[in-house]
Structure 1
Amino acid sequence: MQLGPALREVIAASVPLLHAHCLDPWVVIGSAACALAGAPAEVADLDLLTSAADAQRLTALWPSRLDSSYTPAGADRFRSHFARFRFPGMPLEVMGGLELNQAGGWRPVRVNEIVHVQVADIAVPIPSRAEQIRILESFDRPKDRARAELLRAL
């Protein structure tokens, strides 16, 4: 697994804190999870799927890291208790209680199978490859379909 230095840096700076402060299960998703699974994905931030309560807990814990000027795209498609934090390496984005607007309304994004990858002796939870593909395809955006293809090619 070839990870860029920025991804390694944000994992080292944030994941031990997440293990210490999150009370509910959480998982890395998006491009970072794709890269952690071994795909050659470009990673701009560390996306976390957490409970709504943990998202609020982290916001209270890290007020000096909060990037309150950032607004995520796709509000018609996604909703969550969102927060973006400044960390060494790259931003960390927390999506607490993430929901996806699909036919029939808003549905929670769930991860049914989590695996752990080791990055410098830090256990990082990510969806299994099959789960990542399922989730990325459900998002139905070009960048997510491209990441699903990268994972399929492994």
Structure 2
Amino acid sequence: MNPALREALAAAAPDLERHCRDPWTVIGSAAAALAGAEVSVADLDVLTSVRDAEVLIALWHDRRYAAYLPVTGAGRFRSRFARFRFPGLPLELMGGLELHGPQGWQPVRVRATVRADCGGIAVPIPAPAEQVRLLQDFARPKDLQRAALLAAVHSPDR
């Protein structure tokens, strides 16, 4: 287990559990790593509702990178976004994440989750097949690479 990821989750998960009224989910490289894929994890991506994002942004205001704007995927993604300083890894919060595709803006919906153990913390992540679907929908080169790694790890042939 990635020690930096474990440290960030240990710091963030109690607030997420305590203050989120709606389901929250770890996505991106952190979720792929928690599902067993050999990926590098540069930050902790957390998907929440817009309402919960507003609560967390207020709660974590002193940790926020005030001027940070995501570069990759600009124009393809929108959300109530904020990036925060946490021990181990930065945390990127995406409230009400939407993806722009052929049908215009569509909400990103996680249809199936599982709990992954991270140093004794039960972390909600998309089920592996669901992660593959989401990453393929995101369609950036790094997402497609993660999708392939996850599919290989969770192949029925293994």
- The TM tier, using the shorter chain, reads over 0.9
Give the whole-Å Cα distance in 1 for the aligned partners of 2:116 and 2:2.
Answer: 15
TM-score (norm 1): 0.97
Gap runs ≥5 in structure 2: 154-158
The AA in structure 2 aligned to 1:40 is E
Q: Which moved more, 1:26-35 or 1:7-16?
A: 7-16
Choose which of 32, 35, 46 in structure 2 pairs with 1:34.
Answer: 32
State the partner residue of 1:134.
133
Shift of 1:120: 1.9
Kept after mapping to 2: 8 A contact 1:16/1:122: no
The AA in structure 2 aligned to 1:152 is A
- Work out whether 1:114 is the aligned partner of 2:113: yes
Give the whole-Å Cα distance in 2 for the aligned partners of 1:59 and 1:17.
Answer: 11
What does 1:31-110 align with in structure 2 at a 5 Å threshold? 31-73=29-71, 74-110=73-109
The AA in structure 1 aligned to 2:122 is A
Among all aligned residue pairs of Structure 1 and Structure 2, give the percentage whose two residues are the same amino acid: 61
The AA in structure 1 aligned to 2:89 is M
**What do residues 44-98 of structure 1 show as CA deviations (whole Å, max 9, x unaligned)?**
0000110000111000111101111210122210000001010000100000000
Give the whole-Å Cα distance in 1 for the aligned partners of 2:119 and 2:40.
Answer: 20
Shift of 1:22: 0.8
Shift of 1:128: 0.2
What RMSD, in angstroms, separates the aligned Cα atoms of the two structures? 0.7
Over 2 Å off, 4+ runs: none
The AA in structure 2 aligned to 1:65 is R
